[in-house]
Amino acid sequence: MHFRQVVDGHCDTITALTSQKRGLGEYSTKGQLDLPRMLLGGVNVQFFAIFISPAQKDMALKRCLQLVDAFFLELEKNKDTLELALDAVDIERITEIGRAHV
């Protein structure tokens, strides 16, 4: 069976979530993306960027780990809607069960 994937290849939402003090599952007019708007737009495959500003070079590793932690916390909070895909087989499987993949 073939399932349609609508892929967004980049967003900086994880970085913004930490500064905007909001969750991915909450509708918001702030930032590039949240789950309600993502699903409303039909996007079911999302690549989240982990961006470290050059101004943060002295604490780049710490900031990177904070953002990766924030990403995995959002996955856990939204586990009924989101699932991590590591390859194309995961994308097909997750699409088939009706979840979005990140």
74 inside domain: yes
2 inside domain: no
Query: Which residues sit opposite 45 in a β-bridge?
Result: 7, 101
pLDDT single digits (tens) 66-95: 999 999 999 999 999 899 999 989 988 888
64 inside domain: yes
83 inside domain: yes
1 inside domain: no
Domain count, the chain: 1
66 inside domain: yes
0.85 surpassed by pTM: no
Q: Are strands 82-83 and 100-101 parallel, antiparallel or unpaired?
A: parallel
Which structure tokens are listed for 1? 């069976």
- Residues of the chain short of pLDDT 50, as ranges, are none
16 inside domain: yes
The sheet carrying 7-11 orders its strands as 7-11, 45-48, 100-101, 82-83
Structural domain of 82: 7-101
36 inside domain: yes
Residues 6 or more apart in contact with residue 19 via CB below 8 angstroms = none
Please report the DSSP string for 29-94 in residue order: SSSS--HHHHHHTT--EEEEP----GGGGGGHHHHHHHHHHHHHHHHHHTTTTEE---SHHHHHHH
The per-residue pLDDT for 2 is 55
* Sign of the torsion angle spanned by Cα atoms 14, 67, 26, 102: positive
